[in-house]
Structure 1
């Protein structure tokens, strides 16, 4: 046997052994095989990005379900994405989109919200009122809502059929873009401060999720969704903006295939604690994990439990 052939075989054997001995990335137990470990990046602070990636993987390492994560911190130029293009039934987080579309329409008409709009926008956000959401959904119409999504630049959000606003399909990446409408200094939304204010006043029993682990120096502006359906179990979502005197960052966690609502909440809060800890070293947490006896297993009722003909049959989107 020639020396060249021997060296080639030796190199191949070494590569195989190295691959077998390499650590396997941690992913959520039982998660879709298309789900990949969180990837955080920061040109300003690559060490922070590496730590955050490890911490998010650790938070998911023993969890069931299918999870998507997106994080954006303007101060450190940190971004994180885990399966951020996978689509989920939006449930009640779509109410942020409805609110922003109503605010944008008022801007375009060079006016503030009417008394009727205010009477619906306020409870839709602060109490997750479904009747108010339906009123605004019908009033805005699909054309106006679609035009708004185009203006934001969402890529994979699809409005729910007919009056089924809770079946709007969305991604963590698109939810990050929608939150950016409220935080970016150059935003086209003139009344973004009002939108953030409403999100800061969500009632206490709906303030679980991404605020878990946040430090006392920050304010949380959040909206959640919690919906069980006959396929993919519980959808449990939490999106939020965190503002303080020296920073602003956004966190989005979407999930389905959760066995219970409480299980999904706990998964989200484990991720949130890792994010807040990484972005705020040395600052004590003001909000811990939500006790299970404070998590209701009642649906947010934003969509029917069973399939909607022509929408859920067959399963239309398994794209990661």
Structure 2
């Protein structure tokens, strides 16, 4: 694609939004969703067969599917969800986690991870210009900065190579410079979040075996924690009102259908614990409808893990 064509496409993908940086609070578009229990409670007067400290087995994938069912609209909209506790103490949950979706601007996290891996391999730090591009690309979702860094990592080939290191097996870079049309899955996005945020234990946070150094992970996580206020929707709806979360959203109207891709990935805090959440959707009639679907799905996913 010629640079003029790419610039026009990128302008459609997302605008540069600048705002005051704030802590995450629940978005208003999605409503709280009751989660269906998969184990029935004992009837009145019936003693529970479980010991007081015994954990009742729960099929969380099934619980998530039930929780999402009332959110799914009639029509062409699809949603895919993956969620996990950062401390790994609770099983995660997945709904349609391997179906492919356009990334839109959530690919910018992947682009930055690829850039940092290249810098690590070369034994170098990012240049001041690269750091400036990375800040604008993540915090403000600036497309020109994303294009510059896409070219710096070697385009589609560079992203695909980085994803082999990161462990993203179902993600394929967009062809012809169209980075926003990279195809990914909710499970792959959860893998990428683990690569960035690591895992938590009593001893602290440890990095996933993804190739990203501690400094690189801190760089990405720090930028995702400073998203412009106009873009703090999506998975942040599942967070406590007083918590601080880290996220990246993507939104893209498809010219052929007029329908919207709406995606959100990130880390949220609920009840003192932190969770990684990936929600992808397409076929939304409007951006607002897509945001409502993604926020409702994020709330339902976290509720499945928190009970």
TM-score by length of 1: 0.68
Matched with 1:203 is 228
Distance in 2, Cα, partners of 1:126 & 1:45: 41
Corresponding residue to 2:118 among 105, 122, 126: 105
Distance in 1, Cα, partners of 2:162 & 2:124: 17
**Cα drift, residue 51 of structure 1:** 4.6
Q: 1:148 to 1:45 in 2, by over 3 A?
A: farther
Contact in 2 for aligned 1:68/1:83 (Cα 8 Å)? yes
**Cα drift, residue 166 of structure 1:** 0.8
Structure 1 residue 225 corresponds to structure 2 residue 237? no
Distance in 1, Cα, partners of 2:142 & 2:299: 28
User: Relative contact order (C-alpha < 8 Å, sep 6+): which is higher?
Assistant: 2
**Per-residue CA shift, 1:205-258, capped at 9, x if unaligned?**
111111113114642111111101114711011111125895332111111111
Corresponding residue to 1:213 among 222, 235, 238: 238
Contact in 1 for aligned 2:106/2:265 (Cα 8 Å)? yes
**Cα drift, residue 78 of structure 1:** 2.1
**Cα drift, residue 141 of structure 1:** 0.5
Structure 1 residue 122 corresponds to structure 2 residue 135? yes
Q: 1:276 to 1:84 in 2, by over 3 A?
A: closer
**Per-residue CA shift, 1:250-279, capped at 9, x if unaligned?**
111111111000000001111122233444
- Indicate the SS of the match to 2:236: coil
| Unpaired runs of at least 5, structure 1 | 1-37, 282-320
Structure 1 residue 253 corresponds to structure 2 residue 269? no
Matched with 1:270 is 296
Distance in 1, Cα, partners of 2:271 & 2:222: 16
Structure 1 residue 241 corresponds to structure 2 residue 274? no
| Unpaired runs of at least 5, structure 2 | 1-35, 39-53, 199-205
Structure 1 residue 170 corresponds to structure 2 residue 181? no
Structure 1 residue 182 corresponds to structure 2 residue 212? no
Corresponding residue to 2:82 among 70, 78, 81: 70
- Indicate the SS of the match to 1:119: helix
Q: 1:245 to 1:82 in 2, by over 3 A?
A: closer
Contact in 1 for aligned 2:79/2:280 (Cα 8 Å)? yes
**Per-residue CA shift, 1:12-54, capped at 9, x if unaligned?**
xxxxxxxxxxxxxxxxxxxxxxxxxx9x9xx966348265443
**Cα drift, residue 56 of structure 1:** 2.9
Matched with 1:193 is 218
| Deviating more after overlay: 262-271 vs 52-61 | 52-61
Contact in 2 for aligned 1:217/1:244 (Cα 8 Å)? no
Structure 1 residue 95 corresponds to structure 2 residue 116? no
Matched with 2:13 is none
Contact in 1 for aligned 2:260/2:282 (Cα 8 Å)? yes
Matched with 2:72 is 60
CA RMSD of aligned residues (A): 2.6
Contact in 1 for aligned 2:275/2:302 (Cα 8 Å)? no
Larger radius of gyration: 1
**Cα drift, residue 81 of structure 1:** 1.5
Q: 1:72 to 1:63 in 2, by over 3 A?
A: farther
| Deviating more after overlay: 129-138 vs 82-91 | 82-91
Contact in 2 for aligned 1:215/1:280 (Cα 8 Å)? no
| Deviating more after overlay: 58-67 vs 188-197 | 58-67
**Cα drift, residue 76 of structure 1:** 3.4
Contact in 1 for aligned 2:93/2:301 (Cα 8 Å)? no
